[in-house]
Amino acid sequence: MDSNWDYVKKITLWSYEDLIKRLSVLVNYPVLWQAYNHNMTQAASFARCLFPEMGSGKGEYTTSLLFTMDRLRTLGLHDWGHVIARIHTRAECDTFIRDHDLDFEEFIELLNYLLRWAFPFEIASRELLDHENPLEMAYYPIMKEHRLKNSFDILEQGCTSTRRRVLVDRTGIPLDFLTRLVHRADITRLPYARRKTILPLCAAGYNTLKKIASANLAQMDLDMDSYFARFPGKSWQDYKSVIVLKHLVTCARALPVIIDERR
């Protein structure tokens, strides 16, 4: 199949160059990259955990995704880094697909899966703050000054208690707030989790990825209902289509652990 670059924009919403740029960001964060640079066997297992219905014909992704991963494995492509390093340009992608006898559209769908689901999305640090809380917002200029500009910066520099204490010494930001901030950044690793998902979850008591992963869905639903009931005119029913608890819990159980409280 000839390379249809319009298909890249149609599927991913980005040009090919922007797509690769976004997929390459994670490489600059060693802690995160080590956790996400799966070999193809790990990648297939991770996909099945994210999409338990895969293979049933339901859901966004089908077994063709697994077939492509298995094809890459048999071709000796060791991990995602090994793949991405070979497709930085359109010409390189063309050569890669031709030399390995891959289907162009299926390969682009695999890259879209990496972008949307398998790799976390970088979130601006401001979006992790409660904009109605002046104390939290007062920390924002300090965070920018000390290169805590996004969720990846925060996780990379604050993923252990030792690193967080270094941040406290460097920034003067209190440890309890930094710890909350690191956990919010951790929660953004859930696919499509943004500020309007993160802050209600945290306020309802699900303020760490571990708590979300271990949640009882029925109790979680009640807790979210209680949270939204605090605000006149707001109803949990109005948000259920945006904050899909089953999806969040399923993904939280699948994600690699980044925060290590033992160190």
Go through 48-81 and write b for each residue having 16 or more CB atoms within 10 A of its CB, e for each that does not.
Answer: bebbeebeeeeeebbeebbebbebbbeeebebbb
Binned at pLDDT 50, 70 and 90, residue 233 comes out as: confident
Q: Return the structure tokens found at 160.
A: 């252990």
Residues 6+ apart with CB under 8 A from 227: 200, 203, 204, 236
pLDDT tens for residues 234-243?
Answer: 899 999 999 9
pLDDT tens for residues 106-120?
Answer: 999 999 999 999 999
- Whole-prediction pTM value? 0.93
What distance lies between CA 212 and its chain's CA centroid? 15
State how far the Cα of 248 lies from the Cα of 183, in Å rounded to an integer. Answer: 15
Q: Return the structure tokens found at 20.
A: 């690769």
* Closest by CA position to 156, among listed 19, 17, 36: 36
Q: Hey, where are the domains in the chain?
A: 5-118, 125-254
